[in-house]
Amino acid sequence: MYRPALLSRPALTLTVTALLSACGAPSPAPAPARPDGLAAQALSPTSLGARYTDAAGTATGTTHLTFRVYSSRATRLEVNLYAARSGADEKLRYTLTKNASTNVWSVTVPVSSLTGAGIGTVYYGYRAWGPNWPYSASWVKGSSVGFVSDVDASGNRFNPNKLLLDPYALEVSHDPQGPASGVYSNAVYATGAANRALDSGRAAPKGIVLSSTTAAVGTRPTRSLKDDVVYEVHLRGLTKGDASVSCAGTYAGAAARAASLKALGVTAVEFLPVQETDNDANDVTDAASGRSATGTTGDNYWGYMTTNYFAPDRRYACDQTAGGPTKEFRAMVKAFHDQGIKVFIDVVYNHTAEGGTWGPNDTATILSWRGLDNAAYYTLTGDGQNYWDNTGIGANFNTFGAAAQNLIVDSLKYWRDELGVDGFRFDLASVLGNTCTSGCFNYDKMNAGTALNRITRDLTPRPVGGGSGVDLIAEPWAIGGNSYQVGNFPSGWSEWNGQYRDTLRRDQNKMGVEPVTPGQLASRLSGSSDLYGDDGRRPQHSVNFMVAHDGFTHADLYRCTTKNNTQAWPYGPSDGGEDNNHSWDQGGVAADQRKAARNGMALLLLSAGTPMLTGGDEILRSANCNNNPYNLDSSANWLPVTASADGATFRTFTQNLLAFRAAHPALRPANFYAATDTNGNAMEQLRWFRPDGAVADSAYFNDANNHALAYRLDGTEFADPAGAIYVAYNGWSGNVNFTLPWPGAGRSWYRVTDTCSWAEGAGQVDLNAATGVGGENATYGLCGRGMLVLVAR
């Protein structure tokens, strides 16, 4: 998966006060009002970050503020406190003390000292010294006093001139600002000048001290994943183009879409990354004539460049006050929960916005983790000088290391417990199965120490039958090594089924070019038991999709034979993108393009497993053949406000198919379709047929020259209101006659849909199945590249 590379006084020192004891501490007295008006919160003895606490060993109730940060290699840490988010120097500076047994550094200070210094909302960041840059009392900001090397043999990259964002900050003031030359790096340029002495304090993003909000998140849905329909969408893009929405492009704007998504049939919304990312400058270069004189753009629209794993992205908040993004996110979650819709978020724990080393002059960006404990948070090369990279961004997050793994789990718990999130989609999730902390990459799902297995131990996956827990969905690949792991994740994990996507795309679009056997197609349509049945997982662990955010839209999959990413703004230019998309423009025939789109949607929604749509699929949204629009924060990438006539018709088609899926449990099996019951008695949950009505045997299944396949589901085995469901798929270019199987004693077949062009229109899916087409041995002529769905009654 392609990812762009980004980013790149006199001090007052107070005595450290003891932390609140985990045992035996007196009950805290009510705290006085704080400068920002938020209620005080007791500090968990295991938490990191900045939290308001009561003073240890006193009964006065004086409110204190405690800072706690992890570093195993720093030799000195200071916290700088600011009254403004940027453009000004710190008001106060405190030295932290290290707990040698935990490597947690901390300091507790009275809020009264902050108030006296003119600090209301508390903005803060850390400065760190270590073996490659030991502390000197004569050091001042902007100097190189104490400097030994930018990186030492152990991989340390400490630099006290770089203000560091707290990895556990609950909100972030802003995105990185400053000179393009790189105030956040140590780069040495041709002039011989080094950026290591440039102080980043005024420009750097800072943590904001908050207490947990008590805003409600509503009643969490407990539905089994097998009964979900996932709608993957960019939070900003969901409403940004709609001027009628108050606070369009924000959490509040997204909340306004909850009812319409429910009406469509969506049961889970999956937002592209909403953890704080470097995207505030996306609009800076917008112009009616294009993005820039060079025709390029550096926008980070998708958001896969995380700067903090706890903070909701401030750019997506209508309320920009301290605490505003957090409260607004929770209110959005409640709006979706009130409609019975789960909220999933896409999380990026495989790499960060700090990236890697991109040149010979040590241009590593220092924003947060790297400056606190480089080797703890990143997987380094064996010599400690560079980074192991299976992400395309330059540096694997050290997911097998204790500190990084703890951060991942703590972050997930925070989004689950405090912000109300119901599930997570993990970007390039194979990196979370890495068993190396330095010098290698090795995926091993059986190793109990991996982040993958730690997550399932510490965050209970939702049971197969539904209930409390979280839904865990992996993107089961990364870049290079043994990172392609479709079907090979631990128990408790669902996966984006890349083999489903590729098989169905090839079958629809590459006939005669990329062979697909009926047996391969049948495996994907029936839940991919070959991938998920060998380790106790179920059909629902196969998240089926035809398209996702990184690739063609559903419409473009059938409109575009090749990508076109170099076009002008607002549809481009974008670099990267997959060259082999298994796509086809259907010979340029618009009616055939719409028919192919109907087939793709029908195949998806009639398959066993968990279907995922991408925002705008339902209205045939097009990106003009750009298959990697990661950088287009533009009207072309936002969801259209109104659908075209064809798009509106397709929305009705999709909505009705979603209703059909919801009404028929035979399409949503809890277990793989079986030929016998638990007692070994024969039954027929699923049977495959040739077009002539004969049962498909191995010879038929294994012959890639056969392009038509049908199957019958026995609804009586699933308490389905339909006695049976029959689906016929003609992948051939010409008409094929299908001989219908037995519909059940005293029953006949009735048509739900025929995707062929003759039936195109608002009534193409008939949920009442009013038209009878005959009984056993009746024939039905199905157009080339068409699908048929019947029910028995």
* Residues annotated as part of the active site: 427, 475
227 by DSSP, 3-state: which? Answer: helix
Compute CA distances 584 → 309, 505, 561, 604, whole Å: 39, 9, 4, 18
Residue with tokens 């294994």: 702
Measured distance CA(73)–CA(583) in Å, rounded: 51
b/e string for 236-274 if b means 16 or more Cβ within 10 A?
bbbbbbbeebebbbbbbbbbbbbeebbebbbbbbbbbbb
In the β-sheet with 49-54, what is the strand arrangement from edge to edge?
49-54, 63-70, 104-110, 97-99
C-alpha 753/C-alpha 54 separation (Å) is 66
Element (H, E) at 336: helix 324-338
How far apart CA 286 and CA 569 sit, in angstroms, is: 10
Calculate helix-pair angle for 402-417, 451-458, nearest 10 degrees. Answer: 40
Closest to 426 measured CA to CA, from 437, 415, 435, 441? 415
Strands 610-614 and 104-110: unpaired
Token duo for residue 77: 């840490």
Q: What would the two tokens of residue 528 be?
A: 């991919």
**CB contact at 8 A, 141 and 92:** no
Three-class SS state of 645: helix
CA distance 159 to 75: 12
**Taking Cα atoms as reference points, which of 65, 72, 69 lies closest to residue 20?**
65
The DSSP code for 593 is H
Count Cβ atoms within 10 A of the Cβ of residue 219 and give its class: 0-12 exposed, 13-18 middle, 19 or more buried.
Answer: exposed
Q: Using omega within 30 degrees of 0 as the cis cutoff, is the peptide bond preceding 205 cis?
A: no
Taking a C-beta distance cutoff of 8 angstroms, is the pair 353, 146 a contact?
no
Give the residue among 326, 106, 126 at the shortest CA–CA distance from 210. Answer: 326
Omega before 463 cis (within 30°)?
A: no
C-alpha 777/C-alpha 592 separation (Å) is 29
- Indicate the helix (H) or strand (E) that contains 749: strand 749-754
Rg value, the chain, Cα: 28
How many angstroms separate the CA atoms of 426 and 485, rounded? 13
Q: Residue 412 corresponds to which tokens in the numbers above?
A: 């997930």
DSSP string, 132-146: TB---TT--TT--TT
CB count within 10 Å of CB 559 equals: 23
CA 495 – CA 415 distance, rounded (Å): 21
Give dist(CA 89, CA 163) in Å, integer: 11
CA distance 135 to 157: 14
Contact in structure between 206 and 124 (CB atoms under 8 Å): yes
